[in-house]
């Protein structure tokens, strides 16, 4: 998604350099929209990863012996 955004940004820069204002504006708008979509997907993935990580950590910590329990069994 970000590669497409970068490609449209380059098209917008090239069109702007060639004085094609309409094409440059359209390509810049598409690049901006794709960049926002990519950012939203990234944020959603980070939130889902953090939520999944905490639930996995809770499950693992409930099954693992506690530090105090390990000390008592070694003596």
Question: Residues of the chain whose pLDDT is less than 50?
Answer: none
pLDDT at 2: 80
- Backbone φ and ψ for 59, nearest 5 degrees, come out as -65, -40
**Residue recorded with tokens 């504006």:** 25
Query: Which residue ranges make up each domain of the chain?
Result: 2-74
CA distances 53 to 22, 32, 46, 56, Å, are: 46, 31, 10, 5
- Backbone φ and ψ for 26, nearest 5 degrees, come out as -65, -45
pLDDT at 51: 82
pLDDT at 67: 61
The predicted-structure confidence for 39-55, as pLDDT tens digits, reads as follows 999 999 989 888 887 76
> Does the global pTM surpass 0.75?
no
CA angle 30, 27, 42 (to 5 degrees): 30
From CA 50, how far away is CA 43, in angstroms rounded?
11
């Amino acid at each position: 998604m970000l590669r497409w955004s970068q490609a449209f940004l380059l098209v917008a820069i090239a069109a702007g350099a060639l004085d094609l204002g309409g094409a440059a504006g359209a390509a810049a708008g598409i690049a901006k929209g794709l960049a926002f979509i990519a950012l939203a997907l990234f944020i959603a993935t980070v939130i889902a990863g953090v939520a999944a990580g905490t639930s996995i950590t809770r499950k693992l910590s409930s099954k693992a012996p506690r530090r105090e329990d390990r000390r008592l069994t070694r003596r």
